[in-house]
Amino acid sequence: MAERLERGEAQSDSLSEQAAGNTLALNPLVGLSGRDLMESASILLKAAVNEPAVFAGQWLSFVGELGSIGSGRSDRTQAPGDKRFADGTWKSSAPHRGLLQAYLAWGEAINGFIEKTSLGDVDKARAHLVANIIIDAASPTNNPFSNPTAVRQFLDTGGDSLLRGVKNYLSDLAENGGMPAQVDKSPFKVGVNIAATPGAVVFRNELLEVIQYKPDTPEVRQRPVIITPPQINKFYSLDLSPDKSLVQYLLKSGIQVFCVSWRNPTVREREWGLDTYVAALDEGTDAVREIAGAEDVTMMGACSGGITSAAYAGWLASKGEAKIKNIVSPVCVLDIASANDSAFGSLVTPETMRAAQQASRLRGVLDGQDLARMFAWMRPNDLIWNYWVNNYLLGKQPPAFDILFWNADTTSLPARLHHDYVDMFFTNPFVNANKLTLNGASIDMGRVKLDAYVVAGVTDHITPWKSVYRTAKIYGDETTFVLSNSGHLQSLLNPPANAKASFVAGVAKAPDGERFLAAGEKRSGSWWPHWRDWLFERSGAEVPAPSSLGSNRHPATSAAPGTYVFD
Domain ranges of the chain: 21-156, 200-545
- CATH fold of 200-545, please? Rossmann fold (3.40.50)
Active-site positions read 303
Beta-sheet pairing, 441-442 with 437-438: antiparallel
Q: Write the single-letter amino acid at 412.
A: S
H/E element, 114: helix 94-116
Among candidates 181, 292, 192, which has minimal Cα distance to 236? 192
Torsion 49-54-60-62 (CA) sign: negative
User: What pLDDT score was predicted for residue 3?
Assistant: 41
User: What pLDDT score was predicted for residue 25?
Assistant: 44
> For every residue of 8-56, which 3-state class applies, written as one string?
HHHHHHHHHHHHHHCCHHHCCCCCCCHHHHHHHHHHHHHHHHHCHHHHH
Span 386-403, pLDDT tens digits: 999 999 999 999 999 998
pLDDT grade, residue 18 (50/70/90)? low
Mean residue pLDDT across the chain = 89
Span 195-242, pLDDT tens digits: 999 999 999 999 999 999 999 999 999 999 999 999 988 999 999 988
Whether the pLDDT of residue 14 is over 90: the answer is: no
For residue 76, which phi and psi values (nearest 5 degrees)?
-65, 135
Other beta carbons within 10 angstroms of residue 163's beta carbon come to: 13
Rounded Cα gap, residues 350 and 355, in angstroms: 9
Torsion 541-208-472-466 (CA) sign: positive
Whether the pLDDT of residue 189 is over 80: the answer is: yes
Among candidates 462, 555, 341, which has minimal Cα distance to 16? 462
Strand partners, 212: 200, 258
Other beta carbons within 10 angstroms of residue 61's beta carbon come to: 14
Span 428-459, pLDDT tens digits: 999 999 999 999 999 999 999 999 999 999 98
pTM higher than the cut 0.75? yes
Calculate mean pLDDT across residues 461-489: 92
* Residue 477 burial (C-beta neighbours within 10 Å; 0-12, 13-18, 19+): exposed
* DSSP per-residue string spanning 396-425: PPPP--HHHHHHH-B--EEHHHHHHHHHHH
User: What pLDDT score was predicted for residue 372?
Assistant: 76
pLDDT grade, residue 347 (50/70/90)? low
For residue 226, which phi and psi values (nearest 5 degrees)?
-110, 125
- Scanning 392-541, the segments in alpha helix (DSSP H) are 402-408, 415-427, 465-475, 488-492, 513-519, 528-536
Rounded Cα gap, residues 237 and 47, in angstroms: 45
Rounded Cα gap, residues 3 and 8, in angstroms: 9
Torsion 551-205-371-193 (CA) sign: positive
pLDDT grade, residue 541 (50/70/90)? very high
User: What pLDDT score was predicted for residue 381?
Assistant: 87
Rounded Cα gap, residues 564 and 567, in angstroms: 5
Task: Mark residue 443 as left, alpha or beta (left: phi above 0; alpha: psi -120 to 50; beta: remaining).
Answer: beta
Whether the pLDDT of residue 357 is over 70: the answer is: yes
